[in-house]
Structure 1
Amino acid sequence: MKALIPTGDPAEPVVLADVPEPVPRANEALVKVEAFSVNRGETFKLEAPAPGDRPGKDIAGLVVQPAADGTGPAGIARVVGHPMAGGWAELAAVPADALAVLPDTVSALQGAALPLAGLTALRLLRTAGPVLGRRVLVTGASGGVGHFVTELAAAAGAEVTAVTRDAARGARLTELGAAAIVHDPADARGPYDIVLESTGGETLPVALARLARRGTLVWFGQASRTPATLDFFDFFDGPESAVIRHFHYLDADTGLGDDLAALVRLTAEGRLHPEIGRVADWADTATVLTDLRDRRIRGKAVLTLS
């Protein structure tokens, strides 16, 4: 079968190659991939791939062989899946508990855009706690996670301030429920009960200073690729009893399949809108990856298999 494999070349990070078909374990279903999405964090890992790496975490397609242990969707079911690797291929072996059925009202493009960004947003808000009536600052809001978390938080009753680079992206976030848009975290008025921070670098201490008393900053990324420096005394003089919390989306009390099903349901009901900034044939994946890495794509990028 055909699959995309890493090259280690920043100008062309992946190429199509012939690889053996996956052999599913007893708890895995074999999925014919119709579409997959790529994430900016994956572009960083492609800069120094390990031997045998097979990228790909976000897929939508058709179950052609159900899990042998009887778990998960039955054969010929349309599904969205979140394998830990190997999704950028014609066929993918996916744990049955990392799959959710797609109804006819949700397209493969929408489904493929949901997993990593949607799971991160959903679980990030659960980590932050109840947001009804609370002021929330979201940095890096123009990416896939930012769109999802803005819409979910606003729908749950939060007053969301989104940090994004330009007016066009801000306009879309306003449509999704953001109460305010700023282009620099220093312009965010605050104080905020919750800060969801994914940029790192100079942004982190600026965002931290805008926390309210006993507020929480959840640090879930470093998209700037610049280390952050925090001064204890600056923090001590800032919000009283504030909390900085690390976040990893796989550390959750709910299953991947259950949360994927929740995201699919919200999408089918018109309550969640995957923001797809580009759709292309998977032969163009290398170009899409470089454009995503260099911030030339808003929201999610989805590749289709012809």
Structure 2
Amino acid sequence: MKAILPGSSATASDEPVILGEAAEPEPAGDELVVAVEAYSVNRGETFQLDGQLDRRWPGWRPGKDVAGTVLRAAADGSGPAVGTRVVAHPPAYGWAERVAVPTSSVAALPDSVDAVTAAALPLAGITALRLLRAAGPLAGRRVLLTGASGGVGHYVTELAAASGAEITAISATADRGARLLELGAVELLTSVHQAEGPYDVVLESVGGDSLPAALAQLAPGGLLVWFGQASRTPVTLDFFAFFNGPDQGAIRHFDYTVSDSTYGQDLAALVRLVAAGRLHPEIGTVREWSRTAEVIGDLRARKVRGNAVLTVA
């Protein structure tokens, strides 16, 4: 079958991926096979492709966000039947004509949610949902969100605003962040240094000097949830600065893979919200999958607002 394969070099300057041939998926007993119609590209996958994050599976190929139709049901009888339209979150290998996915990582799609919209949901949507659970009740609370113009940030903003939070969103440019105001942010800034705290909750995804600057805006007893390092720049914190900063402020490391719910359960919740008109995936570009390398380049250059979706011909 045709699939998107890692390029010959791990350096960002070379072609990151190529369209080639791969073996057909061999599903385990609790896995179904999806005929892929669309998939989304995430920044984390671009980091894996350029060698900045581990590739944890032998023969690794990228692809964690897919939507399509069940081609082969799971042998153990779990999950949707053949012919069911689904959205899925495989551990990898999803940028292909077909992919095997655990049934616990799949949710059925209603007719009102198309494959392109659904493909933008898995990684970014699940991360946003679980991030807000980690943050706790948000009604009436001030929230500072950095790196807000990506896929996760758009979901977090709309979901948190619907919960009654007052969100200050940080985006590199006003243009990239404009949609966040429409989704419920009360303030849009282009630098964390412009923020005026205190904030009850800080959701930090940039790293570098962004995290300590955001931490300084935390209210006494507040919570900073650290869920990414998009700048790829390490963070340096000064312990003694805490004496002039938030009293008893807490920093929590966030890992979206750790949850009491399955990926399938959270995908089903996201699909219900989209179908009800309560969640609106921000899709910055939709292109045919032969242009995946081009899209990766645009993501690295921060030219895409929200999610980037590729359609499989």
Matches within 5 A, 1:93-172: 93-172=100-179
Residue by residue over 1:169-220, the C-alpha shift from the partner in whole angstroms, topping out at 9 and shown as x without a partner, is: 3321000000111111111111000000000001000000000010000000
How many correspondences in the alignment? 306
Return 5+ residue gaps in structure 1 as ranges: none
Query: Taking structure 1 as the reference length, what is the TM-score of the superposition?
Result: 0.98
Q: State the one-letter code of the partner of 1:177.
A: G
Q: Could you say what the CA RMSD is over the residues aligned between the two structures, in angstroms?
A: 1.0
Q: State the one-letter code of the partner of 1:19.
A: A
SS at match of 1:124: helix
Once the two structures are TM-superposed, the CA of residue 145 in structure 1 deviates from its matched residue by: 0.3
Matched, 1:253 2:260: yes
Distance in 2 (CA, whole Å) between partners of 1:123 and 1:164 is: 21
Asked if structure 1 preserves the Cα contact closer than 8 Å seen for 2:174 and 2:189, the reply is no
SS at match of 2:29: coil
Distance in 2 (CA, whole Å) between partners of 1:174 and 1:252 is: 29
Distance in 2 (CA, whole Å) between partners of 1:299 and 1:171 is: 11
Return 5+ residue gaps in structure 2 as ranges: none
Distance in 2 (CA, whole Å) between partners of 1:20 and 1:172 is: 41
Distance in 1 (CA, whole Å) between partners of 2:306 and 2:152 is: 8
Instruction: State the partner residue of 2:214.
Output: 207
Asked if structure 2 preserves the Cα contact closer than 8 Å seen for 1:12 and 1:287, the reply is no
Distance in 2 (CA, whole Å) between partners of 1:52 and 1:256 is: 23
Asked if structure 2 preserves the Cα contact closer than 8 Å seen for 1:151 and 1:176, the reply is yes
SS at match of 1:56: coil
SS at match of 2:154: helix
Instruction: State the partner residue of 1:193.
Output: 200
SS at match of 2:87: strand
Distance in 1 (CA, whole Å) between partners of 2:177 and 2:231 is: 19
Instruction: State the partner residue of 1:75.
Output: 82
Instruction: State the partner residue of 1:216.
Output: 223
Once the two structures are TM-superposed, the CA of residue 290 in structure 1 deviates from its matched residue by: 1.1
Distance in 1 (CA, whole Å) between partners of 2:45 and 2:77 is: 32
Distance in 1 (CA, whole Å) between partners of 2:206 and 2:243 is: 22
Distance in 2 (CA, whole Å) between partners of 1:95 and 1:140 is: 31
Matched, 1:235 2:242: yes
Distance in 2 (CA, whole Å) between partners of 1:58 and 1:290 is: 18
Distance in 1 (CA, whole Å) between partners of 2:142 and 2:50 is: 37
SS at match of 1:103: coil
Once the two structures are TM-superposed, the CA of residue 26 in structure 1 deviates from its matched residue by: 0.5
* Identity of matched residues, %: 63
Asked if structure 1 preserves the Cα contact closer than 8 Å seen for 2:207 and 2:229, the reply is yes
Matched, 1:23 2:26: yes
Moved more, 43-52 or 180-189: 43-52
Distance in 2 (CA, whole Å) between partners of 1:167 and 1:28 is: 43
Matched, 1:91 2:134: no
Asked if structure 2 preserves the Cα contact closer than 8 Å seen for 1:138 and 1:161, the reply is yes
Once the two structures are TM-superposed, the CA of residue 12 in structure 1 deviates from its matched residue by: 1.2
Asked if structure 2 preserves the Cα contact closer than 8 Å seen for 1:128 and 1:194, the reply is yes
Q: State the one-letter code of the partner of 1:6.
A: P
Residue by residue over 1:247-301, the C-alpha shift from the partner in whole angstroms, topping out at 9 and shown as x without a partner, is: 0001001111000000000011111111000100000001101110111111100
Residue by residue over 1:26-82, the C-alpha shift from the partner in whole angstroms, topping out at 9 and shown as x without a partner, is: 000000000000001110110137562111000000001111111111110000000
Asked if structure 2 preserves the Cα contact closer than 8 Å seen for 1:27 and 1:67, the reply is yes
SS at match of 2:200: strand
Q: State the one-letter code of the partner of 1:83.
A: P
Instruction: State the partner residue of 1:2.
Output: 2
SS at match of 2:277: coil
Distance in 1 (CA, whole Å) between partners of 2:305 and 2:263 is: 25
Q: State the one-letter code of the partner of 2:3.
A: A
Q: State the one-letter code of the partner of 1:20.
A: A
Matched, 1:43 2:50: no
Distance in 2 (CA, whole Å) between partners of 1:289 and 1:181 is: 26
